Copies of this chain bind each other. A is one copy, B any other.
Amino acid sequence: MTSPADIAKDTAPRKVEARLPRGFGDRGPAELAAMRGMLEQIRATFELYGFEAVETPFIEYTEALGKFLPDQDRPNEGVFSFQDDDDQWLSLRYDLTAPLARYVAEHFDALPKPYRSYRNGYVFRNEKPGPGRFRQFMQFDADTVGAPGVSADAEMCMLMADTLEAVGIKRGDYVIKVNNRKVLDGVMEAIGLAGDENATRRLIVLRAIDKLDRLGPEGVAALLGAGRKDESGDFTKGAGLEAKAIETILAFTSAKADTASVTMANLAMVVSSSVIGAEGVAELADIGSLVAAGGYDDGRVVIDPSVVRGLEYYTGPVFEAELTFEVKGDDGKPVRFGSVAGGGRYDGLVARFRGEPVPATGFSVGVSRLLSALSVLGKLGGQAEAQGPVVVLVMDKDQIAHYQKLVSTLRQAGIKAELYLGGSGMKAQMKYADKRGSVCVVIQGSDEREKGEVLIKDLVLGATLSSAPDRDAYLKQQAEAQFAVPETGMIDAVRKVLARHGTHY
């Protein structure tokens, strides 16, 4: 009969430290209310597009998840894994795509095809945490499996745009950029880096391109050529490409022009005679015209080959949602939020289970990142302000049953209310109500009880009393801030006070 109390007694000399592992965080009511509101808006938008909900568990066979951690050099690491009692390895999901592939493969015959689904939830990365980098974070994904054509990709781009607007990012404050892995493959072919024998060099090239944002074209050119010495003097060996090849790659990443047709012409040039490259350019053109048909060619969705994140992972079109407005960073310098959602076509993932390619495209919204952005924009709004309960104070401990009755009456009227449950006196009770953000408290001491009354105290109004301009105003305000009513009139009086401050029951 060892109870927690007993154990606590036993171990009293050695207190356990109350702390979280690095990279994990707690969330309070304001953040949760904001998150709930945002998830609801995303969900409604995904539903509008005809995607249906699906949920897979947090734990899968490690083998089923595979080793496809995108944007990561060592895909084997970064996953929380543990052995089941039959020695098989299990892992916490690191994204929502790998489990979807398992789900689709397992239920393939029963699912409608194309299978269009959405899902959201926390995913886990066993990585070194840092500022803004967590080991548990939330994603919200939409995927279409079994749709070979780029109309499915074009739809993803439009959905990304609509989702950002639904959560409160205004048009012009974001852009959905589209690129295509096949165009990159075409570029590689054009510069003689096709074929298995060049896989390593292609990887070096890709990593160099990925640094475009940080190093600019010159830095990338150096990395593509002989190599680059950084500010600290460290030298990174380059890909050893010739000047002509480097020029072609940079022409690819800077192909975006003012109009889509010029961008397309630029791309056609860089892929030269490559068949796969031409296919990629044609796909981008198709996406462009579908997006235009939907009316999203007004700067919301643009073909922009400078987007290279994920090109290593995806097999066709790649899309990324970027916030374009600037905010002041901690150091006062303007910073951009950058990417809040990304995705692409990954035709090989379900194939691992089925042995035949299954076309699939989708994207993932970084919920936590998007939430930070909205917070900076001041768009979290009313959701974030959860109003506290009406608190019925405990003036006489032998009257608790009656106070409980008052609380129950308030709740039955749909008013958020609670009995003060601590052991402290009047002053602490008022402080408690304040801390909870209560609009008013209900008080019944012996005086009120004898008269069958309760005292309603408006905490919001009460807080402004001292700023009354004169004595008359003060007295009038005081009378409004604290007044007695018969017990039978409590509900109406509380409703009146709550309505004063914008809450209507």
Query: Which A residues contact B (CB, under 8 angstroms)?
Result: 1-9, 11-12, 15-21, 24-29, 32-33, 47-50, 52-61, 63-64, 66-68, 80-82, 84-85, 88, 90, 92, 102-103, 105-107, 112-114, 116, 122, 124, 126, 135-136, 144, 146-149, 151-152, 154-155, 158, 162, 181, 188, 199, 202-203, 206, 289-290, 292-295, 312-315, 346-349, 351-355, 357, 386, 388-389, 391, 400-402, 404-405, 407-408, 411, 414-423, 432, 435-436
State A477–B341 Cα separation when bound (angstroms). 47
Contact B199 A353, beta carbon cutoff 8 Å: no
- Return chain B residues, CB-CB under 8 Å to A146: 421-422
CB distance from A191 to the nearest CB of B (A): 14
- Return chain B residues, CB-CB under 8 Å to A203: 1-2
State A19–B101 Cα separation when bound (angstroms). 11
Contact A53 B66, beta carbon cutoff 8 Å: no
Contact A57 B24, beta carbon cutoff 8 Å: yes
State A122–B335 Cα separation when bound (angstroms). 37
Contact A295 B151, beta carbon cutoff 8 Å: no
Contact B57 A25, beta carbon cutoff 8 Å: yes
Of all chain B residues, the one with the shortest Cβ separation from A67 is B7
Contact of A290 among B113, B114, B401 (CB under 8 A): B401
CB distance from A72 to the nearest CB of B (A): 12
- Return chain B residues, CB-CB under 8 Å to A357: 5, 8
State A148–B424 Cα separation when bound (angstroms). 11
- Return chain B residues, CB-CB under 8 Å to A53: 28-29, 32-33, 386
Contact A60 B21, beta carbon cutoff 8 Å: yes
- Ranked nearest first, the 3 interchain pairs of A and B with the lowest CB-CB distance are A50-B389, A5-B348, A50-B418
Instruction: Given contact pairs A152-B421, A290-B404, enumerate 15 new A-B contacts (beta carbons under 8 Å).
Output: A1-B199, A4-B348, A7-B352, A16-B64, A17-B353, A19-B64, A21-B84, A26-B54, A26-B57, A50-B418, A58-B92, A113-B432, A154-B404, A292-B401, A293-B402
Contact A2 B199, beta carbon cutoff 8 Å: yes
CB distance from A127 to the nearest CB of B (A): 10
- Return chain B residues, CB-CB under 8 Å to A102: 18-20
Contact A416 B48, beta carbon cutoff 8 Å: yes
Contact A21 B61, beta carbon cutoff 8 Å: yes
- Return chain B residues, CB-CB under 8 Å to A57: 20, 24-26, 136
CB distance from A111 to the nearest CB of B (A): 9
- Return chain B residues, CB-CB under 8 Å to A85: 126
- Return chain B residues, CB-CB under 8 Å to A29: 52-54
Of all chain B residues, the one with the shortest Cβ separation from A3 is B315
State A170–B75 Cα separation when bound (angstroms). 52
Contact A352 B408, beta carbon cutoff 8 Å: no
Contact B423 A149, beta carbon cutoff 8 Å: yes
Contact of A26 among B56, B188, B347 (CB under 8 A): B56
Contact A66 B7, beta carbon cutoff 8 Å: yes
Contact B54 A16, beta carbon cutoff 8 Å: no
State A122–B122 Cα separation when bound (angstroms). 11
Contact B66 A16, beta carbon cutoff 8 Å: yes
Contact of A82 among B1, B80, B352 (CB under 8 A): B80
State A149–B6 Cα separation when bound (angstroms). 20
